[in-house]
Structure 1
């Protein structure tokens, strides 16, 4: 029978887990923020076309991610691998992702760009959803915000490291893709070699699900009010974050007028990463000590929204730097505390992977909406309107956490 863990995890568990997340999330966001926009410029002939291609590639890949995350969640709940039920889905996902990233360097048409990025999304969804499901499998409730703080660090430091590598290799688009693919694999090696999780006893496997059962299972968790509100809050904050970041390269180039948008984006990423990393662990420790999650979720959401205001009404490099710090502080605190909150409102212990896959929809679906909505907003109303939406969606996320009753 699946039970809630009671023994704290240590550095031998935490380090490989953090590194594989750094590689997975870092590779995805480094490509999405730096290399994919550059590739879109090379294979299209106008500013409108490059924004449209970026929107299509991001949107289609995000839709793929939604489906794969849920399917992998369902399958990993039933996997009886000797090194843990999530292990093959994480390692296999990283390999697929790295192959897709490397292949993307040879994509020379809009269709090829979208197809290769979709392959990357398959690997990203598999590894990304399974690696988060390991937390409720192995980590006690009283340590989850601290452990999840390293999720926030990985989300900020991973893109920083891989964006830096991509910028160093910026003389060749193909070399950029190959460097990012190699870094993704290298960062996953400690997990592949050393990771151990409690294996699932074959007798405890959930019943083999039919299509009807799976579809019903996707809706059932949302009938639990606390889970549903947590899903809405996650969707709101991720939409806010996506709106702030998906078109940041073009914002720096077209609105701020940065002469070297690659370097400018790297500077902002450094500020964002340092801010997020600096606040994540203290926020997680405070949350675990007091077991109060919601207050920090509200504060961090407001900080992220404030970043949107700065970007909207002060399109200068100095103001963008302030916005990056605010965004990092907000998202770093949010990622650690909200991830811990989510693990406490999962409706079923047996279906952790599937339910976290549904939460994963709230991580990814905003990028579908942000890519499509952001492209329209920029082309019709401009960047100021886009970044006002960052504030609006962050405030909605702050409000949605209040009705949750099972977590303080």
Structure 2
């Protein structure tokens, strides 16, 4: 996919890394405020007491479509040898569907629209993720992971922005989000101009020393550990507002969005420091182990919270640590993928760790919360996160 005149030791330009991080953040803005804030409010106004059930159906159908679309469009970008056209097409498709949400006037139409929107969104996200693997060498993957921490942080900040009281109505909020996404994604497509990295593509990369790290055991551990952490993340992603309201009924959607934004903003410098440290020390997995372990501790604090102060502290620990985990995991995953020539498809399979939790989480929540409350749910999620910690802590070094 890149010209064959670059030296293997060449490092990627900072311009591309920063613009790519901006585009990845644009991807987060395209779904974070919608799925965490705008969709729940719309579901509540449409279904009333049935909002939780409607959100579960939206999550299930949307995640199913996203899983297939991410693999399919990742594979398509492998086959065509070009990522940009797919990214542009997905950007246009997803933004158009986002502003079309008001067209849905009943639950069936809303679920159908979510499915179509997820297909377009993953037409953009799948090839965008694979592009980083094409042009960012292992020596900069920790830095890349740190920069990717901006994605959820800016996604949350956009939620806080669009939910400012009296700024815009429900329909206008969707249009604002679509415009922000376009502004963030287009610069890397127009001005990124990454340095070619032929040693990261094709058969040559498969014979390179870095590719020896892609043993089946490492792939399986990385995949399963992220899946377990993402199940916990997905539960908080979908039900954070409802949980805060169960602790303090005076909480508003804007209060939740600001806390969400604060937690993720604090994760950015920590992820950048951890990523840089992992590059310098060649310890790509240790920050992931610590992130998963602290995430489990935060869930246990949340499970025992009796007031809003304790609830916020618990979420602070959980959100901060798992945000660092997920950002660094995204970049370090590129170390263990088996075949550069199928990078887009394989990242689509890894993306199942982002979408499958949305298939599991609603039913896990519906099974546990009515009987044991949110505390019971958080204890189960903490156990899963501890298992992720053990999987990574016993994983052979990637060198």
Q: Which residue of 1 aligns with 2:114?
A: 117
Deviations along 1:311-353, whole A, 9 cap, x unmatched? 2221432223212321232123213432233111111121111
Hey, what's the Cα distance between the residues in 1 that align with 2:155 and 2:295?
19
Change (3 A) 1:262 1:302: same
Determine which of 252, 255, 260 is the counterpart of 1:261. 252
The reply on whether 1:331 has 2:322 as its aligned counterpart is yes
**TM-score, normalised to structure 1's length?**
0.87
What secondary structure does 1:346 align onto? coil
What secondary structure does 1:382 align onto? helix
How far 1:365 sits from its partner (Å)?
0.9
Q: Which residue of 1 aligns with 2:243?
A: 251
The reply on whether 1:141 has 2:142 as its aligned counterpart is no
Q: Which residue of 2 aligns with 1:71?
A: 72
8 Å contact from structure 2 (residues 134, 197) kept in 1: no
What secondary structure does 1:347 align onto? coil
How far 1:390 sits from its partner (Å)?
2.6
After TM superposition, the structure 1 = structure 2 runs for residues 6-405 of structure 1, keeping only pairs within 5 Å, are 6-46=9-49, 49-80=50-81, 85-168=82-165, 172-197=169-194, 224-253=216-245, 255-405=246-396
What secondary structure does 1:9 align onto? coil
Structure 2 runs not aligned, ≥5 long: 204-213
How far 1:406 sits from its partner (Å)?
5.2
How far 1:42 sits from its partner (Å)?
0.6
What secondary structure does 1:113 align onto? helix
Hey, what's the Cα distance between the residues in 2 that align with 1:116 and 1:36?
12
Hey, what's the Cα distance between the residues in 1 that align with 2:278 and 2:250?
42
**TM-score, normalised to structure 2's length?**
0.89
Hey, what's the Cα distance between the residues in 2 that align with 1:367 and 1:169?
32
Q: Which runs of 4+ in 1 moved over 6 A?
A: 1-4, 198-201
Hey, what's the Cα distance between the residues in 2 that align with 1:300 and 1:14?
23
8 Å contact from structure 2 (residues 158, 177) kept in 1: no
Change (3 A) 1:315 1:32: farther
8 Å contact from structure 1 (residues 241, 390) kept in 2: no
Structure 1 runs not aligned, ≥5 long: 207-221
What secondary structure does 2:30 align onto? helix
Change (3 A) 1:184 1:340: closer
8 Å contact from structure 2 (residues 44, 51) kept in 1: yes
Hey, what's the Cα distance between the residues in 2 that align with 1:265 and 1:126?
30
Change (3 A) 1:179 1:69: same
How far 1:263 sits from its partner (Å)?
2.1
